[in-house]
């Protein structure tokens, strides 16, 4: 179940990044509604969070496919 643990860790990281994005959405909205400048550190961290999510999601998908294949082989051996 090492792959499942890895999947869980990556999903947890995605949730952390999404939480940060959610917590700073008000800054984006404020910028759009009032034109108030967004702090550059928030812009950078939001970009980093999105980039990390975009890397982690396909990694999770790949691990899930591998895990499914392993479980399928195990089931076939037991039959």
pLDDT in tens, 48-60: 999 999 999 999 9
* pLDDT value at 79 more than 60: no
Domain boundaries, the chain: 2-78
Q: Decide: helix, strand or coil at residue 35.
A: coil
Confidence of residue 14 (pLDDT cuts 50, 70, 90): very high
| Predicted pLDDT at 74 | 79
Q: What is the pLDDT of residues 21-55, one digit of tens each?
A: 999 999 999 999 999 999 999 999 999 999 999 99
Rounded to 5°, the CA angle 8-44-36 comes to 125
2-34 vs 40-78: helix crossing angle, rounded to 10: 150
pLDDT value for 34 = 97
């Amino acid at each position: 179940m090492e792959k499942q643990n890895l999947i869980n860790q990556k999903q947890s990281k995605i949730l952390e990044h999404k939480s940060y994005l959610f917590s700073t959405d008000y800054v984006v909205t404020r910028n759009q509604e009032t034109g108030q400048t967004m702090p550059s550190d928030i812009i950078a961290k939001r970009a980093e969070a999105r980039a990390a999510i975009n890397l982690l999601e396909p990694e999770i998908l790949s691990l899930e496919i591998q895990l499914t294949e392993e479980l399928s082989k195990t089931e076939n051996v037991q039959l």
